[in-house]
């Protein structure tokens, strides 16, 4: 969706290693924004993006127009039965239909052999993997690790919305994940306890409003009670009007 940061550029570097021709798409996809969400105000800076992509050795930048991808009479959507009804999909019911659909369109236009997605959007990555497998798309999906700011905040174009005063509250997403990792390392297996600790860390800031905070199966996204196998801890928190997400894998064997 453009307004590139180091997280995006890390994807380009992964792509540059595996691909002969590296294509980046920049498209703020209206189909994945719900009513009242920030489609109109989503940050955009195409000139700067093109310069950054050029520096990363990207061969082709695809910047379609809204009306090219969604002409009048457009009516075809890709929907998944289960994975979207968890985590971000609960408060953003149209989001993953919009994501899956535009990604399938981009795949059909670009015809890539490999595609790189960031693990920050874990649920998105999982849904795209599932779609690719279910629809028999001959594409290899590569996940790239989360890139963080110096203070731990996961890179996101929406970080741009944060005021300096909101920054300490924004940092609690990563702080609660770090605390959870520590607890699991110390032998805690009870998801409820881990969630309660995270909740405490975040709720210390009055401008932080938790959307969800979950410990779940990394494949099905069903909630997990006891962390006997690697589990996904994922959270979404609104800081003022800015919705931030983050996640990590809690591995009891590590």
CB–CB of 130/80 below 8 Å? yes
- Minimum CB distance to its own copies, residue 75 (Å): 4
Instruction: Name which of 85 and 200 has its Cβ closer to its own copies.
Output: 85
82 is catalytic: no
Of residues 103 and 147, the one with the C-beta less far from its own copies: 103
Tell me the C-alpha distance between 245 and 226, whole Å.
Answer: 23
Contact 122, 96 (CB under 8 A): no
Report the DSSP beta bridge partners of residue 242.
239
Token output for 152: 């731990």
Q: Which is nearer to its own copies, 116 or 128 (CB)?
A: 128
Pick the closer one to its own copies by CB: 3 or 107. Answer: 107
Residue 11, SS3 per DSSP: helix
Note the residues at the interface with its own copies (CB under 8 A): 69, 74-83, 100-101, 104-105, 108-109, 111, 130-131, 134-138
Cα-based distances in Å from 185 to 219, 235, 252:
22, 20, 7
Residues, the chain, total? Answer: 254
CB 140 within 8 A of CB 114: yes
Q: Is 219 exposed, middle or buried (0-12, 13-18, 19+ CB in 10 A)?
A: exposed
Give the residues across from 117 on adjacent strands: 143
Closest approach, Cβ 139 to its own copies, in A, equals 9
Name the minimum Å distance from CB 122 to its own copies: 17
Smallest distance from the beta carbon of 69 to its own copies, in angstroms? 8
| Contacts within 8 Å (CB) and 24+ apart, 73-78 | 76/101, 77/31, 77/101, 78/104, 78/131, 78/135
Judged by CB, which is closer to its own copies: 4, or 127? 127
Shortest approach of its own copies to residue 31 CB, angstroms? 11
And the tokens for 142?
């590569």
Set 8, 82, 85, 86: catalytic member: 8
- Positions marked catalytic: 8
């Amino acid at each position: 969706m453009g307004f590139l940061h180091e997280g995006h550029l890390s994807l380009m570097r992964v792509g540059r290693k595996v691909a002969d021709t590296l294509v980046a798409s920049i498209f703020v996809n209206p189909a994945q924004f719900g009513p009242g969400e920030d489609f109109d105000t989503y940050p955009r800076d195409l000139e700067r993006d093109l310069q950054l992509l050029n520096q990363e050795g990207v061969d082709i930048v695809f910047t379609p127009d809204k009306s090219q991808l969604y002409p009048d009479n457009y009516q075809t959507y890709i929907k998944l039965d289960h994975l979207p009804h968890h985590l971000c999909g609960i408060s953003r019911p149209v989001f993953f239909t919009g994501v899956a659909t535009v990604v399938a369109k981009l795949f059909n236009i670009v015809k890539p052999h490999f595609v790189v997605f960031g693990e920050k959007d874990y649920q998105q990555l999982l849904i795209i993997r599932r779609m690719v497998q279910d629809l028999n798309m001959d594409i290899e999906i590569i996940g790239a690790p989360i890139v963080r700011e110096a203070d731990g905040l996961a890179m996101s174009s929406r970080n741009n919305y944060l005021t300096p005063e909101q920054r300490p509250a924004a940092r609690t997403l990563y702080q609660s994940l770090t605390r959870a990792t520590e607890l699991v390392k110390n032998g805690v297996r009870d998801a409820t306890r881990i969630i309660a600790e995270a909740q405490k860390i975040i709720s210390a800031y009055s401008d932080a409003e938790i959307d969800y905070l979950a410990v779940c199966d990394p494949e099905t996204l069903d909630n997990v009670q006891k962390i006997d196998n690697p589990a996904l801890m994922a959270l979404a928190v609104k800081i003022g009007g800015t919705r931030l997400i983050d996640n990590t894998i809690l591995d009891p064997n590590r």
